[in-house]
Amino acid sequence: MYAVIRAYAGNSELADTLVEHEADIRQVIGGIDGFEAYYLLKLAEGTSTISVFENRERAEESSRAAAAWLAENLPDLNVAAPYVTAGEVLVAF
């Protein structure tokens, strides 16, 4: 498994907006082959998402899909590019 974390600093209202679009997010991210899990976190520092996929390629695809969806569907929020980090999942339970 491979996970990608997207951190949107200083933008906690983004989390609330994404909750309102859960069905769309589920289709965009969950529709990628190899999908395992998705988590949306509302943090004091902003919003973060964690996507887990079967392999690295699909995880990277999810970041491109998320960026495209945000640009197309929420242009008025002026969401800055997130800090993105990713890696192999070594323990999961």
DSSP string, the chain: -EEEEEEEET-THHHHHHHHTHHHHHHHHHTSTTEEEEEEEEETTEEEEEEEESSHHHHHHHHHHHHHHHHHH-GGG-PPPPEEEEEE-----
What are the C-alpha distances in Å from 3 to residues 6, 10, 75? 10, 22, 26
Region 33-49: mean pLDDT is 96
β partners of residue 59: none
Identity of the residue numbered 80: A
pLDDT in tens, 69-81: 999 999 988 888 8
The pLDDT value recorded for residue 73 is 94
Least confident window among 30-34, 36-40, 80-84: 80-84
pLDDT at 11 over 90: no
